[in-house]
Amino acid sequence: MAKFEHKLTDMLRPAVEEVGKELLGVEFISAGKHSILRIFIDHENGINVDDCAEVSRQVGAILDVEDPISTEYSLEISSPGLDRPLFDLPHFQEVVGETINVKVSMPLNGRRKFKGKLVSIENDTLIIKVDGEEYELVFSNIDKANLVPNFE
């Protein structure tokens, strides 16, 4: 996650927690007038439309006051879904043994995209098995990651 997204996460987490939800992470997709600020929330009982609306009001008020984004954007509040995004090391620890997609910032062995089983996490390094070969991905080099749904 980018530094700007970390800053937004830290800014918005208290507002999300105030309404009893967990802030999983934030994505900012910059595209001029069509930019999107997507906030992923969760709760042990799941997330519904009313939860998203409540968080949107809370977060919207903070964004209006703090004004951290200078361009036009749309605010989206979302549940993580089956292909839940993975933002922090604890998120990865929860899915050890599962299949994940990972995109890294700096290529490793000439590749930036990895899809495979998360074997383990050692300190800040993910061990992922892709087509029988293990790769060590340093957490700070991860640009984006998500769980691959298992429909078995």
* Per-residue confidence band for 150, with pLDDT thresholds at 50, 70 and 90: confident
For the domain that residue 37 is a member of, what is the CATH number?
3.30.300.70
0.75 exceeded by pTM: yes
Q: Domain ends where: 59, 78, 97? A: 78
**Domains in the chain: how many in total?**
2
Whether 115 and 57 map to the same domain: the answer is no
Can you tell me the distance from the alpha carbon of 141 to that of 152, in angstroms, rounded to the nearest whole number? 31
Contact 77, 55 (CB under 8 A): yes
* Percent of all residues in the chain with a pLDDT value above 90, rounded to a whole number: 88
Mean pLDDT, residues 43-56 = 95
Whether 64 and 7 map to the same domain: the answer is yes
Whether 60 and 110 map to the same domain: the answer is no
The secondary structure of residue 85, as a DSSP letter, is: B
Biggest alpha carbon–alpha carbon distance for the chain = 51
Q: What is the pLDDT of residues 57-109, one digit of tens each?
A: 999 999 999 999 988 999 999 999 999 999 999 999 999 999 999 999 999 99
Q: Average pLDDT over the chain, rounded to whole?
A: 94
Exposure string of 94-121, with b = 16+ CB inside 10 Å and e = fewer, is: ebeeebbbbebeeeeeeeeebebbbeeb
Mean pLDDT, residues 137-150 = 94
Contact 12, 62 (CB under 8 A): yes
Domain housing 103: 89-147
